[in-house]
Structure 1
Amino acid sequence: MPTHPTAAEDTRRGSRAAWTGLILALVLIAAAIVIPNVTGWDVATRASRSENPNALAPLHGLWSPHAGIASAVAIIVAMLAWRYAPRFSRELSWRALLAAAFLASLVWMLALAFVDGPSGISRVLGNPYEYLETARGVTNVGVLLQEYISRIPLDAENNWVTHVAGHPPATLLFFVGLVRIGLGSDFVAGLVVTVIAASLAPAVLVTMRALKVEDVARRAAPFLVFTPAAVFLAVSADAVFAVVGAWGVAALALAAAARNRIMCIIWAVGGGLLLGLLLEMSYGMLLFGVLAIAVLIAGKKWLVLPIAAAAALAVILAFAAGGFSLWEAFAVIRERYWDGIARRRPFEYWVWGNLAALAISAGPFVAAGIAAMSLKLRKLSVPVLLVAAAAVMIVLADLSGMSKAEVERIWLPFIPWLTISLAYLSPRWRSAALGGQLVWALVVQHLFYTVW
């Protein structure tokens, strides 16, 4: 039977849009790498090129081609994923798909991380500027909360190290908890964080099914699992933020889908508690409110909003009662941010260099998916709402000037929601895009020393 002219034209338009998005992403990445190198522009990533000739903007890392014993394993996992993941995402039962998504995400992240050997799991959290070293020295949580804000400023006596100072106390307390239950070594804590990160794709899938777009969720599943962001998700504390936020909005979606009021309230309270905790883990995650509102618009059950908001507020007030007031910390952290390396990072580069770093972390084919989805904007569907919310969060973060560099990890919580757009590619494009994303992840892992 001949293809209907309208369908054929839609396919051609979709292909042109996908090519346009992919090419623009690659050009942006190339420009962000080449311009500082050619001009000598010091954009202050990990180090200027005069300090380290291998410094590579826009990543917070170094040019460092390398391979390891696990390289072969990572390549085999990628080949199996390209061959079988789309079929399994279509044919598995829903519960089996969620379990498979978790296990496959874990295998993918570990395979990439172990390209660097055991240090691929331990080196990030073992960095003294991260949380673990500080967590090991915490003896009194009550005192920690009471002193927290006073130790944020750069000129404060006994000030917090960079990552601890840059976040509210819940993140540090998470690692204090790991230390106290015997999971506080660099390697073991890295494994714990990676296992937590593996639940990110299932959380997004649960959200989409609750919002009645299971078909799109199944098409997106291979991309959510085998994302290039896995290079940065493994052992990054920002992966924990991504997971807490994702399960928070998943709970809101389940509340909206609940068939009785009791379950609606239970899920709404759970979602609010998680999103309140998210705010106590990262100041920037206030932007997750955009995604939460998008989920509630899609779910069309506004009873969820006041319940979830009250639960989130309860978390914030509980921390305030313990000695840490989020609203007081905002002004102090802004001062610390501008007293540090941020003042050396030119906004005129990072306002677009950030987007290049995002394209490296998410994979350039995400831009192809967004371009293809843009053809569907006439209909404000659930997936369009979720992707649009992610885009709005990124734009707000970018224009704030408080996200200059390091967004390959800082924006990890936003990436899965952008990745949904890849479900809107044509079948042929989806196959090519999955292969391209897998290859991209392998290239990033093997060519760059990423600090995360």
Structure 2
Amino acid sequence: MTLHSPPRHSPSPEAGPSTASPHRGDLITAAGGALLFAVAAVAGTVIENTTGSLRAPWPPLLARWLPHLGPGTPTALLVAALVVLYGPAVAARLPWRRLTWTVWLTAMAWTWSLALVDGWRTGVADRLTTRYEYLRGVPRFTDVPAMLREFSQHIPGGVPGSWQPHIAGHPPGAILTFVGLDRLGLGGGGWAGSFCIVTGSSVAAAVLVALRALGAEHGARRAAPFLVLAPAAVWVGTSADGYFAAVAAWALALLAVAAGRTVRDAGAWAAGLGSGLLFGLTVYVSYGLTLMALPALAILVCARTARPVPLVALGFGAVAVTFTLLGFRWWEAYPLLVERYYQGSGGLRSYGYWVWGNLACVVLGSGLAAVAGARRVLAAVPDVVRQRWRWRWGWRSWSRPPAAGVRREPPPDTDRTPLVLIVCAVLAALLVADVSGMSKAETERIWLPFTLWLPAAAALLPSAGRRGWLAAQAAAALLTNHLLLTYW
């Protein structure tokens, strides 16, 4: 069993002047994140009790105060302890393929145990069966093509046959997923919840695949335990947004594989086409995931190639054309969604609070280690930009591989660069979503496709103290799930 190390020209992600700040800076940043959440909770409670304008019983989360234990508690504590104590060493030494499967399975165990803190019915089986959720609309899809042709006319509220809020708030790819499960004999809340947990927990593995494909295996290994113990797992189990996050994450991972240097010919073609198909599904399960274009662009910039773009466009176009020919027009449905959004809670909730209260949800979902890591990511941006600016390349390096016998030297610091570029792109996407006003509250689940990437930033934290940061990640999830009854 060998210890995987970065190439000689690639320093360890925590090395370098941009990440050599004392631990004090990390602790101050994490404390600032904790303070943001505390202020959002106190101010939100006062505002909600006074005006009711937040439409959330325990702001900034959609939850209610209910300290409790459950059947998942012992397992959650055990998984947390094992990852905190042994996660970094195991991630550094396992062969790569075994590591990716181990990360997925451990993230799944973590998510399942957190969901079962609330019990099987409350935590899993009943989550997607409420009057707001997808499963209420499944029986209406006896004729799928006919329902797709009529889908948009049922989006506004107050019309005959108006969709349930979550069905109306998403393109039909979301509800069709659960219709498909039902047709396969996997109907009902138990199967739907299990599907979301199994797929949603695979995001951790997808992030590892993307980073390694871009030459950042060492950074991926350092990030692995933090991705497993992401506090956002509380909402991956159980909400459909966990499944949406998986679709988007694997689209990005396959794009990275197609663009990376390790896959050629048929493998690169298959990865590029698969990425396009998943990107197509991504925007047909959630309107807001068009913002995944930002991390996709970061991946292409990091890989210094646009070669996968035609294949990605082909796969994406196949999905879009299929939905359009079946009668659903994305560009006509989205304005109707905006209308429905402002008919409901979106028009009542205070933008002045949620524009920063949403960010408090990101702090909780990504964890304090991710907050501290994000500081190091932002501090590394000037170095990464300078290094890549010095590395001269033209259009040819973006359009095709180098000629035979010609060696293209990579820029220095390649192991840290993917982390920095992707995390910055995810943060930019979150900011756009935030200021748009189309995400006011419930972002602990709505932003899962973005939040689940942020713990990767913790790879830039120094080795000393990693167990403490992992313990903080686990504590955030455990306290949230045991003190509050979340709605998702």
Whether 1:221 and 2:229 are equivalent positions in the alignment is no
The match for 1:149 among 146, 149, 152 is 152
Taking a change above 3 Å as real, the CA distance of residues 356 and 286 of structure 1, as seen in their structure-2 partners, is same
Partner deviation per Cα, 1:123-172 (whole Å, 9 max, x = no partner):
21121211112113321101110010000011221100000000000010
Taking the aligned partners of 1:332 and 1:9, their CA distance within structure 2 comes to 50
Match of 2:377 in 1: 373
Match of 1:30 in 2: 38
Match of 2:400 in 1: none
Whether 1:397 and 2:433 are equivalent positions in the alignment is yes
**Helix, strand or coil at the partner of 2:382:** coil
Amino acid at match of 1:83: L
Partner deviation per Cα, 1:307-355 (whole Å, 9 max, x = no partner):
2123212211210100001111111111111111111111110000000
Offset at 1:8? 11
Taking the aligned partners of 1:331 and 1:287, their CA distance within structure 2 comes to 17
Confirm or deny: 8 A CA contact 2:277 2:315 kept in the other structure.
Answer: yes
Confirm or deny: 8 A CA contact 1:153 1:159 kept in the other structure.
Answer: yes
Amino acid at match of 1:296: L
Whether 1:287 and 2:291 are equivalent positions in the alignment is yes
Gaps of 5+ in 1: 1-6, 48-54
Counterparts of 1:186-205 in structure 2, within 5 Å, are: 186-205=189-208
Offset at 1:41? 4.5
Taking a change above 3 Å as real, the CA distance of residues 338 and 163 of structure 1, as seen in their structure-2 partners, is same
Taking a change above 3 Å as real, the CA distance of residues 155 and 8 of structure 1, as seen in their structure-2 partners, is closer
- Normalised by the length of structure 2, the TM-score is 0.87
Taking a change above 3 Å as real, the CA distance of residues 133 and 83 of structure 1, as seen in their structure-2 partners, is same
Partner deviation per Cα, 1:67-105 (whole Å, 9 max, x = no partner):
123312211221111111111101100011011011101
Count of matched residue positions in the alignment of Structure 1 and Structure 2:
439
Match of 2:401 in 1: none
Match of 1:211 in 2: 214
Amino acid at match of 1:169: P
Amino acid at match of 1:355: L
Partner deviation per Cα, 1:197-247 (whole Å, 9 max, x = no partner):
121111111001100100000000001111111100112110111100111
Most deviating of 38-47 and 234-243: 38-47
Match of 1:131 in 2: 134
Gaps of 5+ in 2: 1-14, 385-416
Offset at 1:374? 2.6
Counterparts of 1:345-360 in structure 2, within 5 Å, are: 345-360=349-364
Whether 1:418 and 2:454 are equivalent positions in the alignment is yes
Amino acid at match of 1:430: R
Taking the aligned partners of 1:437 and 1:422, their CA distance within structure 2 comes to 11
Offset at 1:191? 1.1
Match of 2:102 in 1: 100
**Helix, strand or coil at the partner of 1:124:** coil
Offset at 1:45? 4.7
Confirm or deny: 8 A CA contact 2:44 2:54 kept in the other structure.
Answer: no
Taking the aligned partners of 1:170 and 1:373, their CA distance within structure 2 comes to 34
Offset at 1:259? 4.3
Partner deviation per Cα, 1:271-326 (whole Å, 9 max, x = no partner):
01100111000000000011111111111221212321232122112101000011
Taking a change above 3 Å as real, the CA distance of residues 369 and 148 of structure 1, as seen in their structure-2 partners, is same
Offset at 1:253? 0.8
Most deviating of 382-391 and 179-188: 179-188
The match for 2:59 among 57, 60, 70 is 57
Taking the aligned partners of 1:187 and 1:129, their CA distance within structure 2 comes to 17
Confirm or deny: 8 A CA contact 2:377 2:424 kept in the other structure.
Answer: no
Most deviating of 315-324 and 191-200: 191-200
Taking a change above 3 Å as real, the CA distance of residues 204 and 12 of structure 1, as seen in their structure-2 partners, is closer
**Helix, strand or coil at the partner of 1:62:** strand
Confirm or deny: 8 A CA contact 1:21 1:370 kept in the other structure.
Answer: no
Taking the aligned partners of 2:168 and 2:286, their CA distance within structure 1 comes to 11
Confirm or deny: 8 A CA contact 2:72 2:112 kept in the other structure.
Answer: no
Taking the aligned partners of 1:283 and 1:322, their CA distance within structure 2 comes to 18
Taking the aligned partners of 2:16 and 2:180, their CA distance within structure 1 comes to 57
Amino acid at match of 1:223: F
Amino acid at match of 2:150: E
Offset at 1:192? 1.7
Offset at 1:428? 1.9
Confirm or deny: 8 A CA contact 2:369 2:472 kept in the other structure.
Answer: yes
Amino acid at match of 1:23: A
Whether 1:181 and 2:184 are equivalent positions in the alignment is yes
Offset at 1:365? 2.6
Confirm or deny: 8 A CA contact 1:290 1:393 kept in the other structure.
Answer: yes
The match for 2:337 among 324, 333, 338 is 333
Whether 1:313 and 2:317 are equivalent positions in the alignment is yes
Taking the aligned partners of 1:440 and 1:35, their CA distance within structure 2 comes to 20
The match for 1:383 among 405, 413, 419 is 419
Amino acid at match of 2:165: T
Taking the aligned partners of 1:393 and 1:12, their CA distance within structure 2 comes to 27
Amino acid at match of 2:338: R
Amino acid at match of 1:118: W
Taking a change above 3 Å as real, the CA distance of residues 410 and 14 of structure 1, as seen in their structure-2 partners, is farther
Amino acid at match of 1:440: A
Counterparts of 1:160-179 in structure 2, within 5 Å, are: 160-179=163-182
Match of 2:255 in 1: 252
Taking the aligned partners of 1:8 and 1:269, their CA distance within structure 2 comes to 37
Confirm or deny: 8 A CA contact 2:377 2:423 kept in the other structure.
Answer: no
Match of 1:51 in 2: none
**Helix, strand or coil at the partner of 2:64:** strand
Match of 2:21 in 1: 13
Offset at 1:46? 4.8
Taking the aligned partners of 1:360 and 1:20, their CA distance within structure 2 comes to 16
**Over aligned residues, Cα RMSD in angstroms?**
1.7
Confirm or deny: 8 A CA contact 1:136 1:179 kept in the other structure.
Answer: no
Amino acid at match of 1:97: L
Taking the aligned partners of 1:24 and 1:303, their CA distance within structure 2 comes to 42
Confirm or deny: 8 A CA contact 1:288 1:393 kept in the other structure.
Answer: yes
Amino acid at match of 1:408: E
Confirm or deny: 8 A CA contact 1:20 1:371 kept in the other structure.
Answer: no
Amino acid at match of 2:361: A
**Helix, strand or coil at the partner of 2:131:** coil
The match for 1:270 among 270, 274, 299 is 274
Q: Percent of aligned positions with the same letter in both sequences?
A: 39
